[in-house]
Amino acid sequence: MAERVLIARVRDDAANPGTLLVTAPRVGVAEGIPRPGLFLNPFARLTAFRILGVRHALRLPRDVQGRVVEACIPDAHTPVDYGAPLLRIDPRGGAGETAGPDGASAEGGASEQAGSGLIRVAATSEGIFYRRATPDAPPFVEVGSSVSAGVVLGLIEVMKCFNQITYGGPGLPERGEVVKILAADAAEVQFGEELFWVKPTA
């Protein structure tokens, strides 16, 4: 059965002009939250959200994106009220506008450029990581593979739904080279776990 979807509420943060507060759309329990520095694309999965024991995927609205600048709740199972702030994002998300690394995210995955110059692609949900589309198919990428914006790096399965992990995003180089793969095929991965390191080439 596919995971149910909830869309988070978003409003301007009057105390911090230019940023947005992402808030809970219902009373429930948030199972963690994206860490500061990650860039979230429209409809990005934020966390699992339980309402009366039923698990939902909490996602951004389709017209909202930005870099996480503050987590308003602990990265743990946290009861929240309707409208409670979950995180604060900067919709500009440009390099150098906020402290921390550059980053980008894709549905089911996120990439973060570290001080070493490498772009670190991390899981934005827990699930089963797959390096290939089917057991008999070749891996999406190998160490040494050249990638460009939109190229699929892998998949994460959550309750029989497969989310693509793709390279690219605002503030990231158009092209790169995979230099390390940190998760094994069919391995269980956790939210925020690094999956790939990519070296910018353009």
As annotated, the residues of the chain forming the CATH 2.40.50.100 domain(s) are 4-90, 106-200
Q: What is the mean pLDDT of residues 159-188?
A: 85
In degrees to the nearest 10, what's the CA dihedral of 57, 152, 184, 119? Answer: -90
Judging by DSSP bridges, how do beta strands 39-40 and 66-71 pair with one another? antiparallel
In degrees to the nearest 10, what's the CA dihedral of 123, 101, 61, 92? Answer: -160
Q: What is the mean pLDDT of residues 120-132?
A: 84
Q: CATH 2.40.50.100: does it fit domain 4-90? A: yes
What pLDDT is stored for residue 190 in this prediction? 80
The string of pLDDT tens digits covering residues 1-22 is 456 888 999 999 988 888 999 9
Contact 58, 46 (CB under 8 A): yes
What pLDDT is stored for residue 170 in this prediction? 65
What pLDDT is stored for residue 100 in this prediction? 28
Q: pLDDT category, 106, cuts 50, 70, 90?
A: very low
CATH of 106-200, one of 3.40.50.300, 3.30.70.870, 2.40.50.100, 3.40.630.30: 2.40.50.100
pLDDT mean across residues, the chain: 81
- pLDDT higher for 173 or 101? 173
Rounded Cα–Cα distance for residues 18 and 92 (Å): 8
What pLDDT is stored for residue 166 in this prediction? 83
- Pick the most confident of 25-29, 44-48, 162-166: 25-29
Residue 151 has pLDDT above 50, yes or no: yes
Judging by DSSP bridges, how do beta strands 45-51 and 54-59 pair with one another? antiparallel
